[in-house]
Structure 1
Amino acid sequence: MTRIPNSHSGLDPLSKQDYQLWLAEPDGSVRSAGLLQVAPDGEVRPLLAADIGNTEGIAVTVEPEGGSAQPTSDPMMQMPLTG
């Protein structure tokens, strides 16, 4: 499991919400890369992206349980991908 740091260890488990990973495309659109699975201790199971194509960045949002077709909240984390 991969640990994503914050003010304590891992991510806070959510109730009736999920953390969702997004891939940012060159045209400004985003597509879902799936939901992050968070253990009770905050550890996050890794996600494998099969095809990242021309992805320019990634972001994580908090979404309603089961995820969303498009982000419904501001990213809690975002980062560009280079190289």
Structure 2
Amino acid sequence: MHGDDEVTVDLRFSSSNDEVTELCFEPVGTTFRMNRNDVIYLRIPVSAVPNLEIIMWQNGIGVWVAPYPGEYIILDGNKVELDRL
């Protein structure tokens, strides 16, 4: 786990097409369905950013966080906490 005083960054994920886009956070498989212009943020320690793996495909985004477990917070478009990884 990362310390409470570690600097974090909010990474923004959004859907720009007219079809539903699935955003999946691995290794746990937490998945959200986003419509056009929906936004979800991942708050992550800056030190963990180089370990991120982001994979995109038609109507899907996969985000692998490492190290796991860690202090990763999923936020909605208003930056209200939805879940933790």
Q: Settle same-fold status: TM greater than 0.5.
A: no
* TM-score, length basis structure 2: 0.31
Q: Give the TM-score normalised by structure 1.
A: 0.31
**Larger strand proportion, structure 1 or 2?**
2
Instruction: Give the number of the structure whose residues are more often helix, by fraction.
Output: 2
